[in-house]
Structure 1
Amino acid sequence: MALFGAKRTRTSNFKTTESWKERLDRIFSNESFLLRLLAMVVAILVLSVTVEAWRAPFTYRLGETVPQGILSRIDFERVDSFETRQEQEERAQKVPLYYLRKPNALQQTLQQFTLDLRAILEAEKQADLTSEVQSAFGLDITDTPVALPENTEGLVPEAGTSTTPPAAKVETKFQQLKQALTLAPDPELAASAGQPPLVVLEEVTEEFRLFLDPLTELGIVNADELKVLTPNYSREVALVTPLSSEEEEEVEIVPAQDVLLSYALRESGRLGRKWSSFGQLSQIRPYVEHWLSVQMKPTLTYSEQLTQQQMNEARKSTPEVTIKYLAGTVLLPPRSEIDAVTLELLQSEQETIYKYSSPQRKLVRFFTVTLLISVLVILMGSFLAKNYPRLVGSAGKLSVFLTVIVLTIFLARYFSADPWRAEYIPFLVAVMILCIVYDQMLATIVSFAVALIIVVSTTNDLKQFILLMSVAATAIIPLSKVPSRLTLIKVGFLAAVVAFIVYWGIAILGSDSITQLFFNPNRYLQSLKCSAWCLVAGYVVAGSLPFIESTFGVVTNISLLEMSDPSHPLLNELVRRAPGTYNHSINVASIGETAAEQIGANGLLVRVGAYFHDIGKMLKPEYFIENMNAGQTSRHDNLSPSMSTLIIIGHVKDGVDLARKHHLPPQLIDFIEQHHGTTLVEYFYHRAKENAEQDPEQDEEVSESSFRYPGPRPQSREAGVMMLADSVESASRSLTDPTPKRIESLVDAITMKKLKDGQFNSSGLTLTEINKIQTSLTKSLIGIYHGRIKYPETKAD
C-alpha cells in the first residue's frame, strides 16, 4: 500500500497497535485514497481499451522490408479492391443516360415552321426574307444552301458537298421553293388564265405535324451533348416523363441513336421512312430537312442527377470481387518491401484471423494485456509514491497525469498507421510537457513506459522503440529550464536531427546492400517524416505553453520573465504606495536568487516570488517600518500588541487576495503565504508579555499561538530560501555597524532560530543546502554593506 501513502504505527516492540481489519477500515474510509485508487483502476482499464487488448496488433507498415518474407497463416479471402472498382465502373457505364421529356416542345417547332413558310409565300424575292428564315432553309448567300436535285423524292443532300452559289442561283432556289408551296405547277401560266395561285400552306403544315409524330413518342436530344456522354453511342437512353407526385415516373429505355435527329432523317430512320406518305411535303424534302437540322430544338433534357444516382446504385449493387488464399501461400517474397497492395492483403488476413478468433481467446488476451499494463502502472506508481508524493497524494493532479499518459498512447496508436506514421508528435509532446511540468527524471521514467506500450501495441519492433527513446532523451536533456519559447523549438529541431541520424543508422545496420538502401526513395521519405514530426512537436508545445501552464498549474521561466517586468500593475502600485517595501523586495529578490542557484533550485522563481511576496503591505504601508520616514512616530505606539500583530500578520492574507485578484500563478501565491511560515511576531509578543507582567489584574496568560503567522510553513526549497532571504535582509537593516562579522553572526542566528522552530521541515531542504544558503546570503549582504573609502571633503576657498 506504499503507493497510496498508508502509514504503519509501531510500538517499541514492533507490534502493530491496530488490527488488520481496523487498518483496512481506516484506509478505505479515506476518501482521497479511494479517489486515487479509482483513478488508477480507471486508467488501467482505459489503457487496455486504448491498445485494443483483445486483439493482436497489426505490425506491418508500408515500405517495410521483410527479409524472411511472409506466408499466409490461414485460409482466407481478400476483396480485390482494384478489380471490384473496375467491375463497379463497368456496371456504372452501362447505366442508361437519363433524359427528361419537355412538354409542348414539338408544338413550338410546328408553330415556328408555319411562320417561316408564310414568310416564304409572302416574300417576292429572296432578299425580302429575314436572315433567320434564309439560314433555316439554306437560302442565304453566306451559308451553304440546299441543292434541289431534279428528282427530289427521298433525297437528302450530303453535308459538305455543295459550294456557296452566287445570288442568282439562290434566288432561283427561292422561287423553286415558293412554287412548290402552290397548287399550280407554273404560277405565270395560272396568272394568264386568270386563276390566282392557291397556297397549300395549311396542307403542308398538317403533313409536317403528322411527319413529326414519331418524335412525339421518343424525342430528340442535343447531338453534341450526347456525343460527349457516349462517344460511340453504346449507352442506352432512359426517357423519363415527369408526372405528379402521386404517380410514378414513366421510364422508357431506347438506343441512343433513336433520339438523334440525324439518325431519324436517314432513309431507314423513323422520319426517313415516312416521306412517301406525304405528297406535298416530300416536294420540299431537302428544305424541310435543312430547316429541321437548323431550327429543331431538343425535346429531351439530360438529367445528371438521375444518371449519377442510378450509377451509384449500380456501383453499390455490384458484388465484390474476391481472391482466395490458402494457408502457406507466399504473400510477400523474402527481402521484399511491403507495397500498398501487399499491405491491404495483410490487413485482410489479420481481419480474418480476428473474425474467427473465439471469444475465450479474446478474453484471455484482454486479461493478459491488462495484467501486464497493471504491473507496469504499479511499478511506475511505486516510483511516483516514493519520489513524488505530492503528485500521488492529490487525486486531481494524479488524474490529470494519468489522462496525459492515456491520451498520448491513444493518439500515438491512431497516428502510427500509414500513411502518417506520426506517433512521434503526441509522444514527444507528452515527454516535453512532463519535463516542463515536473522534472527530467519523471519525464524519463514515463517516456520509457509509454514508448514500451506504444511499440508493443503497434509495430512490436525494437527499431521503433529505439527511435522513440532517442528523440525522448534528446528532448529531456536540454529541458532542465525553459527560458524562452525558442528553447522548445530548438529542442524539436535537435530531436528531428537525432531521429534522422538514428533512423539511417538502424537502416544501415539492418541492410545487406548499402547501395540498394541509398537508392530506396521510401527510406528518405520515412526518415524525413520522422524528423518533420519531431519538429512539429516542438512548435506544438511552444504554441500551447500557456494552456499547459493553466492545465497543470505550473509556471515556466517564460511566464516568470513576463511577470518580472516592473510595469506589472501590482509592482507599479507597490512602488507608489509602499516604496520602502518595494526596495526591500528588490533586495530580497537579488540575494534570494543567488542563494537558490547555489543549491540548484529555481533562482528565477525565487526572484519573481520576492517581487510579489509583500504586496499585501501596500494596503496599510504606514504600519511597516520600512515605509516610515526618519523621525516619524510609529502607529503601533497607540495600539495594543495583539492588534498590531493582527495588522502585521494581515499583510499575508491581503497579499493572497491581491494576487488572486490579479490572477498570479499558484506558485507565486505560495511564496506570499509561506514566506513567514508559522514564525512568531517576536516584538509584539514580548511587548504583550511585558504588559501582562506589569498588569497584575490580568489573569490570562499571553498565548504564543496568537502571535504566530498562520502559515503554512515553506513547502518547497524555493520557499525556504525565500523565508531566510526575507528575514536576514530585514534584520540587516537594524545593524548600526554592518561589519562582515556581525552580518555573519546575524545570518547564522536567524538560520538556527528558523531551523529549531521547524520552519524547514516541509521544504525538502537538507542541512547541507541550508548551510550553502546561509553562506550565500552572508556573502550577498557583505557585498551590499561593504565598506567604502571616505573621500576628504572639499575645502571652501
Structure 2
Amino acid sequence: MNGQTKTRTRQERIESLGIPKPKMVQWWIDSDKADWAVRILIGLSAAIALLVVCRTWEPRFAYRTGMIPVRDIIARVNFEVENQIETEALRLQKVREVPVYYRNWKAPLEQLRARLKNRLFVILDAQSLKEMNEEERKAFEEFVAVAAVTPESATADQPSADQQFSALKAVFASDPELEKLDTAIKNLQKDEFDNGLLQSIKHQPEQGSQRFIRVYSTEPSDAVEVTVDDVQIALMKPKIESMLAEEFRSLFGGQVETDQHRLVAQMVSRWIDKRLPEYETLSYDDEASGKARAEIAASVPPVMKKFYAGQSELADAGEPLDGHELRLLHMEHLQWTNYRGAIDRIARVAAYGGMIAALYLLCGSYILFVDDRTLVFDRVKLSKLLFLFVCTIGISYWVASDKYRSELAPLVIASIITAIVYGRDLSLLLMSAAIISVTLFLNEGLSHLVMLAAAVTTSTLLTGRIRTQSHLLFVGGVAAAVTFLTVVGVGIVTGDTTTIPTGVERLAPTTVSFLEVLNGLAQEGLRAGAFIVISAAALTPILPLIEKAFGVQTDLSLLSLSDASHPLLRRLAQRAPGTYNHSINVASIAEAAADAIGANGLLVRVGAYFHDIGKMFKPEYFIENQSGVNQHDSLQPAMSTLVIIAHVKDGADLARNHHLPQPLIDLIMQHHGTTLVEYFFNEAAKRSEDNPNEKQVSDKDFRYPGPKPQTLEAAVMMLADTVESASRTLVDPTPARIQNLVDQIAQKKMADGQFDECGLTFQQLNLVRKSLVKSLTAIYHARVKYPSQQPA
C-alpha cells in the first residue's frame, strides 16, 4: 500500500482555505450551464429571426403616398427611369407598322367558278336572243353591260345585245363543256386570287399596318406578306379584265385575238367583278395578330430618362407625393441600395443586432430584478414571449407598406395580449421596446413613434380586468380616439406626416393650406383609429385561445367557472356538503383579502370554490363532513396523514381531468404549501413518547408535499382556508378572539416559511390579516337574544 498522500492541485489548495468567492462567480459555478446555453440559443434565434424578417441589411423605403416632404428631394445617385409615355408612343408606332394576320379561305372562289359556268350553260342553251325564256334572259342580263340596245345604237365600245349573245355562242362553240373557261378561271384564281380577296380592312390603325398584311391558309407560321392593294376587291377589275383577255386569246383564238374573244372576256370579267364582294375570302385573325403585336411591343427597348446625383430634383418640398414621384423615389432608393457594399450591409445588421441586444438587456434586467423571473428561467415561457414579439414586429414591418399602412394593428393586439398575460407594468416596458424596434426597422421619424406609443400605451393601460364581452371594444374605441387626437396634434406640430387626399385644389403650386393639412391629418387619424378598433374587437372571440396558449385566465373566463352548476361543484355539494360550505365561506373572505392587497380577488374566489374538490373521494375522513363517527379512530396517525394529504393531489388530478385552467390547478396544489398536519403529528409524537420501542417521529412525514405558495393569490388562499377552518372551533367568536386567532395563524405560517416564495410583504400580510378579521367578524357577529331565548 502506497503511504504517500496525493498531491493537491493549486486550485484545490486555494479552495481549502475556505475563502468565499464573489457572488457572480459562485453563481456561475453553481448554475446549470446546459440550461443557460439553451436559453441563450432561444434568445439568439429570436434576434436572428427579427434581423432576417425585417431585412435589416438594406435601408427601408420610407416614403408614402400623400406624404409632404419638408425640403426638396434630390437624387443621391445616378440612375435611369423608363419614360413610360415616350416608350408607349414608340411601341404604338411599331405596332401600327406590324402586318397583321388574315386567314385565306379559298372555298368561296370555287363556288364562284361553279356559279359562272352554271349561268353560262343557261345562256348557251338558248337558240337566239328572241327565243330566250325568262330564266335564260335573266342569266344573259347578268353579263351585258346595260340593257339590250338596238343595232343602230351599237358602237365598238358598247356592242348590242345580239352582238354580245352571238359572241358568246361563237367563242364557246368550240368549248361546249366550258373546260377552257374553267382553265382560264383557275389560272386567274392562281395568279390574281391566290392571296385572297378583301373587301375592306378589318383592323384598326392602332392594331397594325394599313398597307401590308400577312396571309395564310392553314397555319400563321406559313403566312406570306402582301400589300393590301394586291388583295383588295375594289382594285381587281383591270387585273381581271387583262388576265382574262390574255387567257381567252391563248385558249380560244390561238395566236390571233378576235373582237369576239375580247368582248366575251370583257363580259366574263364584268360578271366576276360585280360578284367578287360576295366572295370575300380573307378574315381577320385577332389571336395571331395579338401575338404579333405583343412580340413587336416587347422587342421595343424602353426609352430611359437619366437623373444625376446632387442635381436632379425628384420631389418638391411642401407638395404631397404622387404616384409618379413615388416611382422615381423608389427607383432611386433601389439604385442607392445596390451601390451599398457588403461592409455597409454587415454594419447595418450589426447595428440592429446591438439595438436588439440593448433591448434584451433592458427588458431582461427588469424581469429578473423587478418582475417575474420565471419568464427568463422557464424555457417555455421565454419561447412564448419571444415568439409573440418576433411575430408582432415582423408582421408590423410587412404590413407597413404603402398598400396597407396597418402596422398599428399587430402592435395593438400584442399590447392587449401582453397586458392580459404579463400585467400592465411589464407590458408597458415590452411594448415600448416593440414600438422602438418597429420605428427603427421602418426608418420612420419621431412623429410616427409618438403615434404608436399613444395607441399601444392607451390599449395597455385600459385593458385591465376583462369582465364583459364589450370591454375590448371599449378599449379599442378609447385608444382610437386618443390616437386620432395624437396624430392630428403631432402632425400639426411637425408637418411632415400629412396625407393630402387626392383631387384637392391647392392655393399655390408649392403651398398647402391649413385646412388641407387638417383634412389629411384627420384621414390619417381615422385610418389609424379604424385599425385599432378592428384589432381590439377581433381579439374578443379568440380570448379562450390566448388564455390556453399562455396559461392565464381573464375575469370573463373565471366568471363562467364560478357558476355553481359546474359539474365538479355540483358533485362536491352532493358528496361533501360540509366541504362545499367551507369552500363557499373561504371564497367569500379570501376574495376581499386579495382585493385589499391588489391581487386578483376573482381568481382567488374561483380557486376557493375548487380548492378542496379532492375531498370528494373520501369525504367522511374530513371533520366538516363527519356526523358523529370519526374514521381516523381506527387508523394510525401516519395513515390518517396520508389520507388527508392525498386530497391535494386528488384535487389537482380532478381539475386536470375536467380541463380547469392551470392557475386554478396551481391554487389547489399550493393552498396547503408544505405545512404540517399538526393534529396527527402531535398524536404520533405522543404515541412515540408513550412507547419507547417506537422510533422518533419526523415532521417531514406529516407535511403536505407542496409546493409553497408561489403567488400572492395562493398565499391569501392558504391563510383564508386555515382561519376559516380554525374559526369554527371558537366557542365564543368575539372580534378579539377572531383577531387573536388570525394573528397566531399568520405568524405561524410566516415562521414556517410558507410565504418565502410568493413575494408577500409584511405590509400586505397586515392588510390580509385585517381583511380576514373583518370578514370573519361579520360572519360571526353577535345577535340580539329574543325574550324566549332569555334564561329563566
TM band (smaller chain)? 0.7 to 0.9
1:717 matched to 2:721? The reply is: no
SS in 2 for 1:35: helix
1:774–1:43 Cα change, 3 Å: same
Aligned to 1:358: 341
SS in 2 for 1:53: coil
Q: Number of matched residues? A: 714
1:638 aligned to 634, 640, 643, which one? Answer: 634
1:344 matched to 2:327? The reply is: yes
1:77 aligned to 80, 83, 89, which one? Answer: 80
What does 1:109-128 align with in structure 2 at a 5 Å threshold? 110=110, 114=114
What does 1:54-133 align with in structure 2 at a 5 Å threshold? 54-81=57-84, 83-84=86-87, 87=90, 91=94, 96-98=99-101, 106-107=106-107, 110=110, 114=114
Shift of 1:715: 0.5
Shift of 1:401: 1.4
Contact 2:558 2:603 in 1 (8 A): yes
The AA in structure 2 aligned to 1:371 is G
SS in 1 for 2:314: strand
Shift of 1:317: 3.6
Shift of 1:315: 4.5
1:42 matched to 2:37? The reply is: no
1:271–1:489 Cα change, 3 Å: farther
Task: Give the distance between the partners of 1:255 and 1:484, measured in 2 at CA.
Answer: 82
Aligned to 2:514: 517
Instruction: Give the RMSD, CA atoms, in angstroms.
Output: 4.2
Shift of 1:727: 1.6
Which shows bigger deviation, 730-739 or 436-445? 730-739
Contact 2:58 2:337 in 1 (8 A): yes
Task: Give the distance between the partners of 1:364 and 1:760, measured in 2 at CA.
Answer: 50
Q: Deviations over 1:423-459 (max 9, x none)?
A: 2112222222211111112122122222222222324
Task: Give the distance between the partners of 2:639 and 2:165, measured in 1 at CA.
Answer: 130
What does 1:112-261 align with in structure 2 at a 5 Å threshold? 114=114, 150-151=144-145, 212-213=189-190, 217-219=194-196, 226-227=202-203, 234=210, 237-239=213-215, 249-254=221-226
Shift of 1:588: 1.8
Aligned to 2:534: 536
Aligned to 1:168: none
Contact 1:182 1:199 in 2 (8 A): no
1:220–1:775 Cα change, 3 Å: farther
Shift of 1:91: 4.8
Task: Give the distance between the partners of 2:337 and 2:777, measured in 1 at CA.
Answer: 76
Contact 1:489 1:535 in 2 (8 A): yes
SS in 2 for 1:677: coil
Shift of 1:219: 4.7
SS in 2 for 1:78: strand
Q: TM-score, normalised by structure 2?
A: 0.79
Shift of 1:670: 0.5
Q: TM-score, normalised by structure 1?
A: 0.78
Shift of 1:292: 5.9
The AA in structure 1 aligned to 2:603 is L
1:747 matched to 2:742? The reply is: yes
1:201–1:26 Cα change, 3 Å: farther
1:758 matched to 2:734? The reply is: no
1:657 matched to 2:649? The reply is: no
Aligned to 1:477: 461
The AA in structure 2 aligned to 1:322 is M
What does 1:479-498 align with in structure 2 at a 5 Å threshold? 479-498=463-482
1:728–1:367 Cα change, 3 Å: same
Task: Give the distance between the partners of 1:360 and 1:340, measured in 2 at CA.
Answer: 33
What does 1:320-331 align with in structure 2 at a 5 Å threshold? 320-329=302-311, 330-331=313-314
Shift of 1:118: 6.6
Shift of 1:719: 1.0
Q: Deviations over 1:268-323 (max 9, x none)?
A: 69878756578779757787667665576x6657362x555554444544323322
1:379 matched to 2:362? The reply is: yes
Task: Give the distance between the partners of 1:575 and 1:273, measured in 2 at CA.
Answer: 119
The AA in structure 2 aligned to 1:693 is E
Contact 2:98 2:209 in 1 (8 A): no
Task: Give the distance between the partners of 1:466 and 1:390, measured in 2 at CA.
Answer: 32
1:318 aligned to 289, 300, 313, which one? Answer: 300
Task: Give the distance between the partners of 1:753 and 1:458, measured in 2 at CA.
Answer: 58
1:264 matched to 2:264? The reply is: no
Task: Give the distance between the partners of 1:540 and 1:257, measured in 2 at CA.
Answer: 70
1:440 matched to 2:432? The reply is: no
Aligned to 2:402: 418
Shift of 1:479: 1.7
Contact 2:198 2:233 in 1 (8 A): no
Task: Give the distance between the partners of 1:213 and 1:578, measured in 2 at CA.
Answer: 112
1:203–1:493 Cα change, 3 Å: farther
The AA in structure 2 aligned to 1:359 is A
What does 1:663-702 align with in structure 2 at a 5 Å threshold? 663-698=659-694, 700-702=695-697
Shift of 1:112: 9.2
Shift of 1:749: 2.2
Shift of 1:550: 2.5
Shift of 1:391: 0.9
Shift of 1:202: 7.6
The AA in structure 2 aligned to 1:656 is A
Shift of 1:249: 4.1
Aligned to 2:253: none
The AA in structure 2 aligned to 1:573 is R
Aligned to 2:570: 572
Task: Give the distance between the partners of 1:788 and 1:657, measured in 2 at CA.
Answer: 43
SS in 1 for 2:647: helix
Which shows bigger deviation, 307-316 or 204-213? 204-213
SS in 1 for 2:305: strand
Shift of 1:108: 7.3
Which shows bigger deviation, 311-320 or 213-222? 213-222
1:555 matched to 2:542? The reply is: no
Task: Give the distance between the partners of 2:226 and 2:72, measured in 1 at CA.
Answer: 55
Alignment identity in percent?
35
Q: Deviations over 1:337-386 (max 9, x none)?
A: 32222222222222222222232333333323322332232222212221
1:399 aligned to 383, 390, 398, which one? Answer: 383
Contact 2:100 2:208 in 1 (8 A): no
Contact 2:709 2:715 in 1 (8 A): yes
Which shows bigger deviation, 328-337 or 496-505? 328-337
1:231–1:331 Cα change, 3 Å: closer
1:503–1:759 Cα change, 3 Å: same
The AA in structure 1 aligned to 2:319 is S
1:335–1:685 Cα change, 3 Å: same
Shift of 1:656: 1.6
Contact 2:393 2:434 in 1 (8 A): yes
1:111–1:600 Cα change, 3 Å: same
Contact 2:117 2:178 in 1 (8 A): yes
SS in 2 for 1:509: helix
Shift of 1:407: 2.4
Consecutive unaligned residues of structure 2, counting only runs of 5 or more, are 1-14, 124-137, 148-160, 249-263, 497-506
1:283–1:271 Cα change, 3 Å: closer
1:241–1:209 Cα change, 3 Å: closer
Which shows bigger deviation, 402-411 or 605-614? 402-411
Shift of 1:151: 0.9
Task: Give the distance between the partners of 1:725 and 1:649, measured in 2 at CA.
Answer: 18
SS in 1 for 2:224: strand
Task: Give the distance between the partners of 2:533 and 2:763, measured in 1 at CA.
Answer: 41
Contact 1:75 1:327 in 2 (8 A): yes
Task: Give the distance between the partners of 1:566 and 1:222, measured in 2 at CA.
Answer: 92
The AA in structure 1 aligned to 2:407 is E
Task: Give the distance between the partners of 1:509 and 1:310, measured in 2 at CA.
Answer: 57
